[in-house]
Amino acid sequence: MRLFGGFATAVIAIGVGIVGVSLTSAPAAAQKRGGTLVQITQPEPPTLGSYISTANPVGQVAAKIYDGLLEYDFDLKPLPSLAESWVISDEGKTVTFRLRAGVKFHDGRPFTSADVQFSVMEVLKRVHPRGINTFSEVTAVETPDAQTAVFRLNRPAPYMMAALSGYESPMLPKHVFSQGDIRTHQNANNPIGTGPFKFGEWRRGEFVRLDRNADYWKPGLPYLDRIVVRFIGDTGTRAAALERGEAHVAGFGAVPYNDLRTLERLPNIRIETKGYEMLSPVVELMFNTRKAPFDNVKVRQAISFAIDRKFVIDNIWFGFGKPTNGPISSNFAASGLYTAEVMNYTVADGVERANRLLDEAGFPRRADGTRFDIVHDITPYGEEWRRFGEYTQQALARIGIRSTLRYEDVATWLKRIYTDYDFDVSSNHLFNLADPVLGVHRAFHSRFIRPGTVFVNGVRWSTPQTDDLMDRATIEPDAAKRAALYAEVQKIVVEAAPLAWTHEISFATVLDRRFRDVIVSPLGLFSNFDRAWRE
């Protein structure tokens, strides 16, 4: 499945059917109307303005309210949504979207190309944290008629086509959001979109209620009457609510991994690991590559060899993970961007190799058996990260590196790693997102060595060669050539090991078995649940 296959030949897809876009193609069960789905989201979102905040809980709520131009299947291939069809021409520098007719916002006003123009040029390109990057090549959105939106690009941007979902790039009503300052807009928390659910009520600290949009443009959908998004602060209470069937859906880290294994055994619960394919978190150890001894590639490789990836996945993530050596998630195998042909750190004799590398690097063991001392800044995100730090401490001890763990609050930690660069080793995880341009380049492209910007190149490693490969891959419209460029990038960075990539996290969603067709897209909880139904 090639995501950008036939790019230059223009027509990529034409949405014919409106309903019947069955992604999971489950046997046609008799879907029923009605019912209330209770979703647990943790923590409570700070806002419902998904056009300005990419915080995880925001998307879990707002994606039910706002549609995007496109949807995606599990191979990350675009499907029609608000855009019925699209044509890419002019060697990738013009993208013409044919918009669906008769779509109405929740306030009854029609959705037109002017709304697309406004959403992309005035909002997403300006204030969306990732949109700034996604739409950086878009110079204009032209609106020849109400159902046509023409994106004019400076250079081809194949990754843009992967970022047009209702979660990533919500389409906003111009007549509402063009009034006043978009950054502090009053309708952020009273959202009006075209999605299957309308905003009902937000009782702070308790829940957000979303009501069925009877005028939704997909006839007969959604099936559910209501979605209630509950906010439950205590981990144990969340698990208990799911166990008792008072809540029906919870994902990401809302239920700890070890509890997932307990819930899994209950007859009324199903655990689903699909629905995170457009996020693809990869866990990494970050090295301060401009500081001794981490300026030495052998030291970095040694540490990567010393981590027993299987132990980490089995005992810290309770099996919800997959060992890896490189930065790009295997979820990109379908689009050809992932390669396993890189240096392999997941070997049985990792500890011996690591010891050898450290000897070669000029760090012999001292009288007490240690080689050197470091400080490891743990990711302050919760228990498993802490255990990962404690495990790493033991793993490094085996190769003679004595590490002290430091645990700070998120703000202090972020400043230390991404502003002051005052660290030896830290652990973290970056989302690959919908395309390596969006989620992977930031970790080791020289353009992303930006003091003060978080979750970018904090290791301050780059080479002109890898920069060039990534720059070429960014605008390469041919899928095969693009895959070849990324294969080379992966080969080089995995060997240079500016970060030690250890494993992909498989997030899991807890589902009540009475609810069907809930996770039907790679965006999982960030999708709109229009086809979810209750038995």
Amino acid at 443: A
Residue 38 DSSP SS3: strand
In the bound complex, what is the minimum distance in angstroms from residue 373's beta carbon to another protein? 12
Q: Which stretch binds another protein (CB under 8 A): 150-158, 189-197, 253-261, 506-514?
A: 253-261
Residue 64 DSSP SS3: coil
253 binds another protein (CB under 8 A): no
In the bound complex, what is the minimum distance in angstroms from residue 422's beta carbon to another protein? 13
CA distance 234 to 42: 10
Q: Alpha helices, DSSP H only, in 268-308? A: 297-306
Total binding residues for another protein by CB under 8 A? 26
Q: Which stretch binds another protein (CB under 8 A): 119-127, 220-228, 357-365, 400-408?
A: 400-408
368 binds another protein (CB under 8 A): no
In the bound complex, what is the minimum distance in angstroms from residue 336's beta carbon to another protein? 38
Instruction: Give the one residue of 405, 447, 451, 480 binding another protein; rule: CB under 8 A.
Output: 405
258 binds another protein (CB under 8 A): yes
Instruction: Give the one residue of 241, 378, 479, 505 binding another protein; rule: CB under 8 A.
Output: 378
Containing 445, the helix (H) or strand (E) segment is none
Output 215 or 234, the one with its CB closest to another protein. Answer: 234
Count Cα atoms within 13 angstroms, Cβ side, for 189.
Answer: 11
Please list every residue from 418 through 447 that binds another protein, using CB under 8 A: none
Structure tokens at 199: 């905003």
Instruction: Give the one residue of 36, 412, 446, 463 binding another protein; rule: CB under 8 A.
Output: 412
404 binds another protein (CB under 8 A): yes
**Residues 305, 351: contact at Cβ < 8 Å?**
yes
* Short-list 177, 158, 62, CA closest to 120: 177
CA distances to 128, 188, 380 from 125, rounded to whole Å, are 6, 17, 31
* Short-list 248, 321, 249, CA closest to 281: 321
Output 287 or 388, the one with its CB closest to another protein. Answer: 388
Residue window 200-239: x/- pattern of binding to another protein, with contact defined by CB under 8 A? -----------------------------------x----
Output 379 or 528, the one with its CB closest to another protein. Answer: 379
Output 42 or 96, the one with its CB closest to another protein. Answer: 42
24 binds another protein (CB under 8 A): no
386 binds another protein (CB under 8 A): yes
Instruction: Give the one residue of 67, 71, 115, 259 binding another protein; rule: CB under 8 A.
Output: 259
DSSP letters for 139-191? EEEEEEETTEEEEEESS--GGGGGS-STTTSPPPPHHHHTSS-GGG-GGGGS-
In the bound complex, what is the minimum distance in angstroms from residue 379's beta carbon to another protein? 12
Output 412 or 453, the one with its CB closest to another protein. Answer: 412
Sequence-ordered list of residues with C-beta below 8 angstroms from that of 67, at least 6 positions apart, any chain: 81, 82, 103, 166, 170, 171, 193, 194, 195, 528
Instruction: Give the one residue of 52, 138, 192, 316 binding another protein; rule: CB under 8 A.
Output: 316
Q: Alpha helices, DSSP H only, in 41-142? A: 56-62, 113-117, 125-127, 131-134
Output 158 or 389, the one with its CB closest to another protein. Answer: 389
Strands ordered across the beta sheet of 83-89: 11-14, 83-89, 94-99, 148-153, 138-145
Instruction: Give the one residue of 92, 389, 400, 436 binding another protein; rule: CB under 8 A.
Output: 389
264 binds another protein (CB under 8 A): no
Sequence-ordered list of residues with C-beta below 8 angstroms from that of 365, at least 6 positions apart, any chain: 371, 400
Output 318 or 455, the one with its CB closest to another protein. Answer: 318
407 binds another protein (CB under 8 A): yes
Output 95 or 316, the one with its CB closest to another protein. Answer: 316
- Phi, psi (deg, nearest 5) at residue 231: -115, 115
Output 19 or 411, the one with its CB closest to another protein. Answer: 411
Sequence-ordered list of residues with C-beta below 8 angstroms from that of 223, at least 6 positions apart, any chain: 31, 32, 33, 34, 35, 530, 531, 532, 533, 534
Q: Which stretch binds another protein (CB under 8 A): 69-77, 365-373, 404-412, 511-519?
A: 404-412
Instruction: Give the one residue of 130, 270, 322, 387 binding another protein; rule: CB under 8 A.
Output: 387
3-state helix/strand/coil string of 364-417: CCCCCCCCEEEEEECCCCCHHHHHHHHHHHHHHHHCCEEEEEECCCHHHHHHHH
246 binds another protein (CB under 8 A): no
Angle at 226 between CA 518 and CA 184, to 5 degrees: 95
394 binds another protein (CB under 8 A): yes
390 binds another protein (CB under 8 A): yes
* Short-list 98, 313, 61, 88, CA closest to 210: 61
Output 181 or 409, the one with its CB closest to another protein. Answer: 409
Output 190 or 394, the one with its CB closest to another protein. Answer: 394
Give the residues lining the site for another protein (CB under 8 A): 235, 256, 258-259, 261-262, 315-316, 378, 382-383, 386-387, 389-391, 393-394, 397, 404-409, 412
